[in-house]
Amino acid sequence: MAEVEELDIGVVREITQDVLAEVSRVIVGMGYELQMLFIGLLTNGHILLEGVPGLAKTVMAKTFAEALGISFNRIQFTPDLLPSDCTGSMVFDQSKGDFVIRKGPLFANIVLADEINRTAPKTQAALLEAMGEKQVTIEGQTYTLEKPFQVVATQNPIEQEGTYPLPEAQLDRFIFKLWLDYPPEDDEIEIMARQLSGVAIQIEPITNAEEIIELQHLVDAVYMDHIILEYIKNIVFKTRNDPQIGIGAGPRASLNLMKTAKARAAILGRDYVTPDDVKELCVPILNHRLALKPEAELEGLTTTAVINRILSDVEVPM
C-alpha cells in the first residue's frame, strides 16, 4: 500500500483499478456501476440503485466495502422500522447505573439502505441529517459519523404496494441514481458457473479509510478550467428552460457535476477535467432531479432521452 504522503493522481487510478479488480472476483460484470460507486465515495456522495430483485445489489455493496478495507452495515427497511433503529438510542446500563449510547447501523463507512422506499417517511427523514451533515442526533446529543461515509440505497421499481416513494428532498441527497439491468447472456452463465464451483472467495482489502480520505483530498486538487464550469452551467440552465421539463435541476446538480467530473478524471489518471468527464456523468446525476411535463410523458419521453437531447444541443467547449 502506498504511503499517504507519496500519493498522487496516478495512485488514484491504480487503487481504483485494484479495487474494481478485486470486487470483480465476486461480482460478474457491473463495471460501470462499481466505477460510479467509487466516484461517489471519492466525492462523499450517496448512491441510489434501482433494479429488479436478484441483481446482487446487496452483495455488490458488501464486497465493495470489503475490497476497500472499511466497515459495512446493512439496514433492511420495512414499514415498521423506527428512526432509532437506524441512528441508535440511549439504553440503561445496569453495571454503570447510567444511560449509555447504543449506536445504530448508520455508524459505518458504507451503509446499505436496502429497499429504502419500503419504510415510512419519518424513518426516511432520519437519513437526511446523516446523508447531508454526516452526523446523527440521539437524545439531543450530536454524534459524528465515521469517515468516509456513504449510503448506498436500493429500491425495487416493480412492487409499488406497501411502498413510500422517496420525496424530492431525499432524492436530491443522492449524487447518482443508477439503473441496474439484467446481465448479458454470457454473464448469466458465468454467475451460475461460479455458484456451481462452490469455492468461497475471500476478498483482500486493497486500501483503508485513512488512504481513501487522502484520495478525496487529491480529487479536490484536480484542475478544472473556468470553461468547464461554463459548460456545466449551460447544461443545468438548459434543464430549467427546456419546454419538455417541468422542474429543472438546482445548484446542487451543478456542484455534483463539478465534483464527480474531478473524480472521474482522477480515476482515469488525469489531473485535469475534460468536457467528456462532464458528459459521461450527466445522466446519473440529472435523471432523478428532473420532472418532465405531463405532455412529454404522454409522448413516451424519458428523462434520459431528454438529457441526451440537451447534451446534443449544448455546445461542447474545445
In a domain, 215, yes or no: no
Q: What is the pLDDT along the chain (318 residues), one digit of tens a residue?
A: 444 444 588 899 999 999 999 998 888 888 899 999 999 999 999 999 988 777 788 888 999 999 999 999 999 988 888 888 888 887 877 777 777 788 889 999 999 999 888 888 888 887 877 888 888 888 878 888 989 999 999 887 756 666 777 877 778 889 999 988 888 888 889 888 888 877 778 888 999 999 999 999 999 999 999 999 999 999 999 999 989 998 888 899 999 999 999 999 999 999 999 999 999 999 999 999 998 889 888 888 899 999 999 999 999 987
Measured distance CA(259)–CA(229) in Å, rounded: 11
* HEC per residue, 167-187: CHHHHCCEEEEEEECCCCHHH
Q: Per the domain annotation, does 64 fall within a domain? A: yes
Q: Are 44 and 182 in contact (CB under 8 A)?
A: no
Domain boundary among 210, 243, 269: 210
For residue 198, the SS3 value is coil
Report how far residue 245's alpha carbon sits from residue 294's, in angstroms, rounded to the nearest whole number: 9
The verdict on residue 217 lying in a domain is no
Q: What is the pLDDT, as a whole number, of residue 180?
A: 86
For the record, the C-alpha cell of 171 comes out as 432524492
Distance between CA atoms of 303 and 309, rounded to whole angstroms? 10
| Cα distances (angstroms) measured from residue 10 to each of 21, 66, 218, 261, 300 | 17, 23, 10, 16, 44
Rounded Cα distance between 144 and 227, Å, is 37
Residues in the chain: 318
Shared domain check, 240 and 149: no
- Give me the CATH number covering residue 181: 3.40.50.300
Same domain? 30 vs 100 = yes
Decide if 79 is inside a domain.
yes
Q: Which of 182, 210, 238 is the C-terminal boundary of a domain?
A: 210
Q: How many Å apart are CA 219 and CA 216, to the nearest integer? A: 5
Alpha-helix residue ranges (DSSP H) falling in the chain: 9-23, 31-42, 57-68, 83-87, 121-133, 168-171, 185-197, 209-220, 226-241, 251-267, 275-286, 294-298, 303-313
Shared domain for 35 and 163, answered yes or no, is yes
The domain in which residue 83 lies consists of 4-210
Is 102 among the domain residues?
Answer: yes
245 & 113 share domain: no
Q: Which has the closest alpha carbon to 206: 65, 110, 34, 111?
A: 65
- Identify which of 58, 8, 14, 3 has the alpha carbon closest to the alpha carbon of residue 38: 14
Evaluate whether 156 touches 202 at the Cβ level (below 8 Å): no
Number of neighbouring beta carbons within 10 Å of residue 201: 11
The count of domains in the chain is 2
pLDDT of residue 2: 42
Same-domain check for residues 236 and 196: no
- What cell does 19 get? 479495487
Query: In this structure, are 287 and 260 located in the same domain?
Result: yes
Structure confidence at residue 4 (pLDDT): 41
Same domain, 30 and 69: yes
For 144, other C-beta atoms within 10 Å of its C-beta total 11
Residue 69 falls within a domain, yes or no? yes
pLDDT value for 136: 87
The CATH number of whichever domain residue 299 belongs to comes to 1.10.8.80
Task: Specify burial of residue 309 (Cβ count, 10 A radius: 0-12, 13-18, 19+).
Answer: middle
> Is the C-alpha dihedral spanning 45, 46, 52, 57 positive or negative?
positive
Q: Residues 167, 191: one domain?
A: yes
Q: What distances in angstroms separate CA 152 from CA 42, 50, 72, 230, one per listed residue?
A: 14, 11, 11, 31
**pLDDT value of residue 142:** 86
pLDDT at 159: 61
| DSSP-assigned states of every residue in 220-258 | HTSB--HHHHHHHHHHHHHHHH-TTEEE---HHHHHHHH
- Which of 210, 231, 247 is where one domain is finished? 210
Please, what is the end-to-end C-alpha distance for the chain in angstroms?
38
